[in-house]
Amino acid sequence: MRGGEMEMENGPTFEDLAIDDSLTDMERVAKYVCSNIALQRVIHVKMLEDTANSVGFETTCDQLIPLLEPLVCDVEYVVRQHVAFQFPPRLMSDPQHEVRSAASDSLVEMAALVKSEDQGQHVLTIVLPLAHEDDNEQFRISAVSLYNGLAEHLGPELCQQFCVPELISLSEDPVFRVRKFTAQSFSNVCKTAGQELSRERLLPAFLRLAKDDIWGVRKACAESLVGISEALAPEDRGELLVPLFESFVNDSSRWVRIAAFQNLGPFLATLERQDVTDALLEHFLNMASSSSAQFGASGEVEIKYHCAFSFPAIVSILGESGWSKISATFEALSNDAFWKIRRTFAHSLHELAKILGQEITEKHLATAFDGYLHDVHDVKLGAMLHFADFLQALSPSFRESYLPVLSEFDSFDQITKWRFREVLCVQLDQLCLTFTPEATFSVVYPLVFKLITDDVAAVRRESFHACPLLLARLQSKPEWVEDVINKFCSLAKSTRYTDRQIYVKVCDAFLSSPEEDSRAVFAKHLATAFFALSADPVSNVRQMFAVEILKHRGMLDDPRNCFGVTCLTLICS
């Protein structure tokens, strides 16, 4: 313990913690990293990197480097932990787990910046000694995790030469915790070492771990199965790993079985279509009817959740023709009492619709989607995020049935929370093209105007882009176009300065449009009112006008535009 660490029983006083502001950063670090007060040491250890950058190489070598040795031996592990981010090689063997973890993270980050030819000398040599610390299992655990984290940076050659034999050796470690972490560390090493070496050398070691006497090791293998499958050649996955998965779902440990089922969906997604057997599909479908007797109360919800989460992947494997096999499971899960399961489907129904096609979507998915639009907040939000995407999968006539949903957003603000309106705003460009021109004018047009004048700035900001798209959609009837333009121009004449600001942003949307027709609409119908706002009595309006003038200066100054001179005059003024 430091000689001065014996502070007062009640801790340091306010005066003890005071910092001398007259000192430079270098002087502060030099003084306070040697302080008897641990808090001061922690604060100033965090300044080491920035101070080194500011004082330069020579001062760092002369004054900062000598300070590091006592810091890595500090009695407070928090001090050593913060040094670890700046000094990983020395601290990789620190006895405190938190310190080693911070050093490991830093080492992986640094490895990404090291040249491939220097990886062996400057990175791998830090890890190898840890793997051979026979008297310290925690060091071996740190080493095996680092092999996995560093594999892609080390490259195939070093990985094959060092990581593969080290991983195989650690898979036979007498301490089960080391074997457990080894089981979790195969995926990246396999991917880097290559498919052939993974099959011939690493997979046998993994299979041995999968039969380990300790259920925690087997559970780790079940959790790592997807990564192993992705690392093997596609033609080998079914033959070598499907029997292994069967052993996991029939394991004596409930935790191993839960881990296997949680990873079943992603595992199936890695297999070739012919390797997805009826037995595997049956396992997946049974997840929807799992009971608390099988997995416990919390396990039942988790299994159903993972089934719902992976459902789109299974649909993509089976396709439209296989819908009859899984439709009953969809019906059960999409109406499940647990809202988190319904939320998962609310976020993915549009993807299912793309895969299954119009007929199945309208017959089976639309009912669930309708319910989600009036479900609890989180479920409804998931459905609204992809409202326009889902409508794209429906026939034009079927889409019209969702117009009342949009009409709800044209009513009082209290009916819908502003975040729902915001997620709808980003879909306005799609909605302008989704419905017939008649429906667009009667429903989408009032909605767009409502959103661009919303009380919440975030909603307005996300909605302006729809203005030129709306007008383009209504070109078939001049009276519609005239009505919309008059509505926009009414904002410029409003007695509320916020409305006049909104008009400036509407004009910005037309000027920013890539379509020449939209810019022509601005020149013909909107420009006069726009330039009149340069003399607005409210400074906020003039300021916003000036910002847009400068933003579009290149186009507005074009002599081919009839307002070019006006624009130049306004900028100069």
Which tens digits make up the pLDDT trace of 298-330?
677 889 999 999 999 999 999 999 999 999 999
Where helices occur in 428-496 by DSSP H, the ranges are 428-434, 437-439, 445-452, 457-463, 466-473, 478-492
| Helix/strand/coil (H/E/C) assignment for every residue in 518-556 | HHHHHHHHHHHHHHHHHHCCCHHHHHHHHHHHHHCHHHH
What's the confidence (pLDDT) of residue 573? 52
Where helices occur in 357-456 by DSSP H, the ranges are 358-360, 366-372, 377-385, 387-392, 396-399, 403-408, 418-425, 428-434, 437-439, 445-452
Of 231, 225, 178, whose CA–CA distance to 206 is shortest? 225
Average pLDDT over residues 193-220: 96
Residue 291, pLDDT > 80, answer: no
| More confident position, 78 or 170 | 170
Domain ranges for the chain: 1-86
Q: How many residues does the chain have?
A: 573
Residue type, 531: F
Residue-averaged pLDDT of the chain: 87
Tokens of 34: 């040697």
Residue 569, pLDDT > 60, answer: no
What is d(CA 432, CA 435) in angstroms, rounded to the nearest whole number?
7
Residue 164, pLDDT > 90, answer: yes
In 3-state terms, what secondary structure has residue 390? helix
Give pLDDT tens digits for 395-422.
999 999 999 888 776 554 554 578 888 9
CA 390 to chain CA centroid, nearest Å: 22
Average pLDDT over residues 186-204: 95
What's the confidence (pLDDT) of residue 6? 43
| Residues ≥6 apart with Cβ < 8 Å to 263 | 222, 223, 225, 226, 306
Residue 123's pLDDT band (cuts 50, 70, 90):
confident
Residue type, 321: S
Tokens of 463: 């909605």
What's the confidence (pLDDT) of residue 420? 86
Tokens of 43: 């604060």
Give pLDDT tens digits for 175-185.
999 999 999 99
What is d(CA 44, CA 317) in angstroms, rounded to the nearest whole number?
56
What's the confidence (pLDDT) of residue 8? 44
CA 465 to chain CA centroid, nearest Å: 25
Inter-residue contact 250 to 218 (CB < 8 Å): no
Give pLDDT tens digits for 53-103.
788 888 888 888 888 888 878 888 888 777 766 666 667 777 888 888 888
Residue 10, pLDDT > 60, answer: no
Residue 429, pLDDT > 80, answer: yes
Give pLDDT tens digits for 34-51.
888 888 888 888 888 788
What is d(CA 162, CA 164) in angstroms, rounded to the nearest whole number?
6
DSSP category for residue 456: S
Residue type, 238: G
Share of the chain above pLDDT 90, in %: 63
DSSP category for residue 322: G
Inter-residue contact 499 to 540 (CB < 8 Å): no
| More confident position, 544 or 100 | 544
Helices 497-512/539-551 angle, 10° precision: 10
Inter-residue contact 469 to 429 (CB < 8 Å): yes
Of 540, 509, 545, whose CA–CA distance to 530 is shortest? 545
In 3-state terms, what secondary structure has residue 296? coil
